[in-house]
């Protein structure tokens, strides 16, 4: 009868040989060295998986790391959502940089699926004026400055939308954490005015000099015909943009209430 093969002993022998031959790796070509590195890392992963299989104590599905920028971004975003909504037209002046969200509650038909909901049509960040800023005064009046720019552009679009139908939330954030919070907000809400996710991007675009104005009109300017300097060729027709909006709303969930948003946050933190 054949003896039972001791696979662990064979593995130890193979590792001993690999270790003893390691000095020869110094003469390997870059291609051969990278292949050996990949093979070793794959072996480590497989052995770690084997340890998890034979260990009677189960490994956690994930480790919660509060220092992970993505986790911090999630909680900064949650803090923003917890702030009260205020009319965009009535926001006063204040110091600080951070993140913000703009909401719509008006009758403009193409935006009907999110009108009055807790899904913002735009989210953004405002970075500090100087590096290393610690206090809101050192950060400068960046948030209100950015919101002021948006407010001016929306006010010019009086033929299609009314500034009275817009709300916003703002959150002054410790310098350095604006970007992960904005990234999370964009990924969560996929706002229709954000270039990364929406069909009506372009509100943040600034006017070109009259001598160099050759850019096509942004979808935002095509929809709202607000800015005189944007009187150029449409990048997309209004019909194309409205069709893209219909498709967007069909594929992206709308958060009707703040409770729906909070449930999503909690579900995202839940470990399997």
Residue 198 lies in a domain: yes
- Cβ-count burial 59-95 (b if 16+ within 10 Å, e if not): eeeeeeeeeeeeebbbbbbbebbeeebeebeebeeee
Residue 62 lies in a domain: no
Distance, in Å, from the CA atom of 78 to the CA atom of 97, rounded to the nearest integer, reads 17
Residue 11 lies in a domain: no
* CB of 118 closer than 8 Å to CB of 191: no
Residue 42 lies in a domain: no
Residue 129 lies in a domain: yes
Residue 28 lies in a domain: no
* CB of 123 closer than 8 Å to CB of 194: yes
Residue 83 lies in a domain: yes
DSSP H or E segment with residue 33: helix 30-54
Residue 4 lies in a domain: no
Token pair 């300097």 is found at 229
Domain that holds residue 177: 69-269
Spell out the per-residue pLDDT of the chain, length 272, in tens.
455 668 778 878 877 777 777 666 567 778 877 887 888 888 888 888 888 788 788 777 777 777 788 888 999 999 999 999 999 999 999 999 999 999 999 999 999 999 999 999 999 999 987 777 889 999 999 999 999 999 999 999 999 999 999 999 999 999 889 999 999 999 999 999 999 999 999 997 655 544 444 567 889 999 998 777 656 677 789 999 999 999 999 999 999 999 999 999 888 887 65
* E-state strands within the chain: 86-87, 98-104, 122-126, 166-172
pTM to 2 decimal places: 0.76
Q: In total, how many domains does the chain have?
A: 1
Distance, in Å, from the CA atom of 217 to the CA atom of 188, rounded to the nearest integer, reads 27
């Amino acid at each position: 009868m054949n003896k039972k093969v001791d696979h662990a002993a064979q593995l130890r022998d193979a590792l001993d040989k690999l270790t003893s031959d390691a000095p020869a790796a110094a003469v390997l070509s870059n291609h051969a060295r990278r292949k050996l590195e990949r093979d070793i890392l794959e072996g480590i992963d497989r052995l770690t998986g084997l340890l998890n299989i034979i260990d009677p104590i189960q490994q956690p599905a994930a480790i919660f790391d509060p220092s992970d920028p993505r986790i911090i971004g999630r909680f900064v975003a949650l803090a923003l959502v917890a702030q009260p909504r205020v009319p965009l037209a009535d926001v006063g002046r204040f110091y600080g940089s951070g993140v913000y969200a703009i909401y719509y509650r008006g009758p403009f038909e193409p935006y009907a699926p999110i009108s009055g909901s807790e899904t913002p049509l735009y989210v953004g960040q405002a970075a500090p004026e100087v590096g290393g800023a610690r206090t809101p005064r050192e950060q400068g009046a960046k948030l209100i400055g950015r919101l002021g720019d948006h407010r001016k552009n929306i006010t010019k679009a009086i033929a299609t939308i009314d500034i009275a139908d817009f709300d916003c939330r703002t959150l002054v954030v410790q310098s350095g954490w604006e970007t992960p919070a904005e990234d999370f907000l964009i990924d969560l809400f996929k706002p229709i005015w954000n270039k990364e996710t929406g069909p009506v991007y372009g509100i943040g675009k600034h006017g070109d000099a009259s001598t160099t104005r050759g850019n096509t009109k942004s979808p935002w300017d095509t929809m709202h015909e607000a800015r005189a300097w944007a009187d150029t060729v449409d990048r997309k027709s209004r019909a194309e943009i409205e069709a893209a909006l219909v498709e967007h709303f069909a594929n992206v969930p709308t958060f009707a209430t703040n409770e729906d948003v909070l449930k999503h946050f909690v579900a995202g933190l839940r470990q399997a």
